[in-house]
Amino acid sequence: MPEQARNRKYLLLAVATVLLTLLMSIAAKHGENIDSTEGFVRDVLAPVQKVVLTLTNKVGSAVQSIAEIRYLRAENERLKSELAELKARENVLINVWNENVRLRKLLDLPPEITEFNLLAARVVARDPSNWYETMSIDKGELAGVQVGSVVVTNVGVVGRVNKVSATSAEVLLISDQRSAVGAMGQISRDVGVLGGGDAYGICRLIYLPRTATIRTGETVVTSGLGGVFPKGLVLGRVVEVSTEDYGLGKFARVQPAVDLDHLEEVLVILGPKN
């Protein structure tokens, strides 16, 4: 209701302005007392014109403000869209950069690996409930991968292929309970078998003789026995040496050299170079 009353007031003022303007025009035509009549009309009309002008300015300002608000909203949406696009591009660049860094490290190979033909592959799947058992890679038979192919990185052994299809393969990690790798101490030359250990990815080097001199901190490498894993590839580092029950032999807990938690790219050994 207050809004309607205000609008009615403005309408009456506008009508009065028109009437007074007509009155001034009539007086001018008759030429009688034109100066006094025109002055009177002007005096009466001035406040009304001022109100009407103020109202007109306010309406014009309101219309302009609405237009500006619409423009600012559109500009805000455009800037938001551009920002989202820039963030997406930034994420792509960061991912590409990180991948390039990893690949450069992956290709910084030790001498014992460079004598083989290698195939780069990406890790495409892992089972969270069996994290330290298997993983899937995006290369298979069509790329030359076979059951038994050894999988490595630039720092050491990851595992071996135990299932393969045309375009993918499953890798049995060295931390899997089913894994068995002929291994030995790099310094002591004590020979044993490296297999899966605990739920945290720590392996066990078993079947060590009672006379074994292997020590904590020593590097464990492949022994080449068994014909699957080439000799001299790094497996990990000894973190603890213990004696078996009844003193029949020794075993060691070994931390894998490869960070099995964060694997993204690996190398598959296809065979020796000709």
Residue range 35-55, pLDDT digits in tens: 555 555 556 556 655 655 665
Quick one: pLDDT at residue 38?
Answer: 55
Quick one: pLDDT at residue 18?
Answer: 60
State the average pLDDT over residues 180-185.
Answer: 96
User: Is a pLDDT exceeding 70 seen at residue 273?
Assistant: yes
Quick one: pLDDT at residue 39?
Answer: 59
- At 6, the amino acid letter reads R
Domain range annotation of the chain: 2-78, 110-274
Q: Compute, in degrees rounded to 10, the torsion defined by CA atoms 183, 145, 262, 84.
A: 170
> What mean pLDDT value characterizes the chain?
82
Higher pLDDT, residue 112 or 153: 153
Quick one: pLDDT at residue 107?
Answer: 67
User: Is a pLDDT exceeding 70 seen at residue 125?
Assistant: yes
Burial 117-149 (b: 16+ CB within 10 A, else e): ebbebebeebeeeebbbbbbbebbeebebeeeb
Under the banding of pLDDT at 50, 70 and 90, the label for residue 255 is very high
Quick one: pLDDT at residue 14?
Answer: 60
Residues 73-84: pLDDT tens digits? 888 888 888 888
The CATH class of the 110-274 domain is: mainly beta
Q: What is the CA radius of gyration of the chain?
A: 43
Quick one: pLDDT at residue 73?
Answer: 83
Quick one: pLDDT at residue 23?
Answer: 60
Helix axis angle, 2-30 relative to 34-106, nearest 10°? 140
Under the banding of pLDDT at 50, 70 and 90, the label for residue 224 is very high
pTM of the model: 0.64
Residues 8-40: pLDDT tens digits? 555 555 656 666 666 666 555 554 554 555 555
Which helix (H) or strand (E) segment is 173 a member of? strand 169-173
Tokens of 166: 């045309």
